[in-house]
Structure 1
Amino acid sequence: MKRFLKEWGLFSLVTIFIILSKIFLWNLVSVEGHSMDPTLYDNEQLVLLKVGDVNRFDIVVASETDDSGKEKLIVKRIIGLPGDTIHYENDTLYINGEQVPEPYLDEYKAAFAQDKLQSTYSYNKSFQERAQAAQAFTQDEHFNPTFTTQVPDGQYYLLGDDRLVSLDSRSVGTFKRTNIKGKIVFRIWPIKRIKSF
């Protein structure tokens, strides 16, 4: 027994620690789709931290129920906190009446201004058509470039970074804190795009 503990004790402890920490503290998640382009691309592998507070502009994983009643996990960015008034006007964000920059949108907003993202969306004809018809990069579910929403108490307003293709709080509504599973803290794959958040 002593020999076993000497040879395998440390390995066993490390293995148990990893398993328990994965259950309670963190998880691996995969990006599905293009709603977070260019911040996060389809099939990228991320580390989700399950504990701690979530703050404005954190990238989070939230659960929603799809049309078949099945739970689906989505990756989005927190824009509105409980009680916030969110207003967009021609691609400018105002939170509680104050203008707030969104630098993570700069690349796609510039591409939208240049050619309405036609070269960026060359891989998807329906994305090109949607962008071509858009008046702004950020619109509401009725394609209005100017809109205001009040975030209810206890709820969060989540948007994808690729505003023209993201299905998010603009159409599915706000999310309770209990529906937010945690925040993304690290991208581990692909290796050339490893990054902490």
Structure 2
Amino acid sequence: MEQYAQDTPKWKAELFDWLKSFLIIGSATAVIYLFIMAPYVVQGRSMETTLHDGERVIVNKAIYYLDDPQPGDIVIIHPDASGENWIKRVVAVAGDTVEAKNDQLYVNGQPLQEDYLNENRLKSEAAGVVLTADFGPVTVEEGSVFVMGDNRNNSMDSRVIGPVQLDHVVGRAEFVYWPFNAIRMPK
């Protein structure tokens, strides 16, 4: 083996070292991307004013290996077999009953405090429309979450597609990294 190392031209040994490095870096990147974190581009207006069309977020995929999504989490979901990604907010979890009456969302009969809707609520009131139309009650089955967009008048969510199964939840949006002047943690 030592004889081979001595007989190998220096350029071949260096090339082999570079290839090993690229293989290790590529493998590590793939593992991180597939199982831990990934970038995501917000598409559409369903989460305005919290997130805007074209913003880029980092999604934590590992978080839900340890725990289930919680109310208030902003999540990336695959709502169907198309592989399309949607971004929504979890408003209820398994066993909860969700309904909306008179522009108020209720979970288990209690009004849900949704401060993240303040700006949208003002816009809806100024336009003379309700932000959250009446629906339900809907009971969230085991292994699912109920998701809604913050821009309730412009969101395809669990009110239409039903509760989302946990295996269709990709991960939680952790922070906006683009554009640079809007870096923040979405709440």
Q: TM-score, normalised by structure 1?
A: 0.76
- Counterpart of 2:184, as a letter, is K
Alignment of 1:85-104 (within 5 A): 85-104=97-116
Which residue number in structure 1 is paired with residue 181 of structure 2?
192
Q: What 5-or-longer segments of structure 1 have no aligned partner? A: 117-134, 140-144
When the two structures are aligned, how many residues end up with a matched partner?
Answer: 171
Which residue number in structure 1 is paired with residue 131 of structure 2?
137
Match of 2:71 among 31, 56, 72: 56
TM-fit CA distance, 1:155: 1.4
Tell me the distance in 2 between the aligned counterparts of 1:34 and 1:166. Answer: 8
Which residue number in structure 2 is paired with residue 156 of structure 1?
145
Bigger Cα Rg: 2
Match of 1:175 among 161, 164, 173: 164
Q: What 5-or-longer segments of structure 2 have no aligned partner? A: 1-11
1:37-93 CA-to-partner distances (Å, cap 9, x unmatched) read 11111111111111123211100011023xxx6231110110110110112222222
Q: For 2:124, what is the secondary structure of its paired residue?
A: helix
Tell me the distance in 2 between the aligned counterparts of 1:15 and 1:70. Answer: 27
- Counterpart of 1:35, as a letter, is S
Tell me the distance in 2 between the aligned counterparts of 1:115 and 1:150. Answer: 31
Tell me the distance in 2 between the aligned counterparts of 1:188 and 1:21. Answer: 17
Q: TM-score, normalised by structure 2?
A: 0.80
State the identity as a percent: 27
Alignment of 1:63-74 (within 5 A): 63-65=78-80, 70-74=82-86
TM-fit CA distance, 1:16: 4.9
For the aligned residues, what is the CA RMSD?
Answer: 2.5
TM-fit CA distance, 1:150: 1.4
Partners of 2:105 and 2:132 within 8 A in 1: no
